[in-house]
Amino acid sequence: MNATIRQAIFARLKEQNPHPTTELEYTTPFELLIAVLLSAQATDVSVNKATRKLYPVANTPETIYALGVDGLIPYIQTIGLFRTKAKNVIETCRILIAEHSSQVPRTREALEALPGVGRKTANVVLNTAFGEATIAVDTHIFRVSNRTGIAPGKNVDIVEEKLLKAVPAEYRMDAHHWLILHGRYTCLARTPKCWNCMIADLCEFKQKTPLPKGA
């Protein structure tokens, strides 16, 4: 895919959604960090349901740490892997209190040193909370990048590296959100909605595009 086509793709995505953001609900960088930790192998909808109950009770490192693992579990037990996540969240809170004055660190190295925080989670926090032009490659972005031809790659690291080079600079800050939302609602894994896709004519994915229902 050449640069002109990529430019056109992101121009359309921006036109449709000029100010994209995460669908996780948060009000502080710490709330975002915890929500992203909880979202691994879970939907944003399920995480939001849990944090709507948790955050009014505890939404700082100190208050969540005070709950302990057993006290946190009832709030998040509807989310997959909740026991492991509870341990990671409590330990993360301990480290933030002890080593970062209860603040979410703004460096990748410090973020990835937190339990359960990998490169993807760190990228989400750096981009969404701190305004850095990072791209967190999840399953949606990996699929869209490969299927469309924007940035094909065999693994998430390769796709991230290619996206950072391929996405035009003026769109890099919001590219993460546009690609996730496109993968979540249009470029679905099994049955992509090519017939309702604003970039279908620019996409390298070849299939027999089904007609809309009733057509």
Nearest one of 22, 20, 15 to 36, comparing CA atoms: 22
Handedness of CA 38, 39, 42, 47 (dihedral sign): positive
Cα separation of the two ends of the chain:
31
3-state secondary structure of 122: helix
Catalytic one of 138, 174, 208, 213: 138
Catalytic one of 44, 70, 87, 120: 120
Nearest one of 46, 37, 25 to 95, comparing CA atoms: 37
Residue 174 a catalytic site member: no
DSSP H or E stretch at residue 68: helix 61-76
Beta-strand runs (E) in the chain: none
DSSP H or E stretch at residue 8: helix 3-16
Residue 138 a catalytic site member: yes
Cβ-based burial of 19 (10 A; exposed 0-12, middle 13-18, buried ≥19): exposed
Annotated catalytic residues are 120, 138
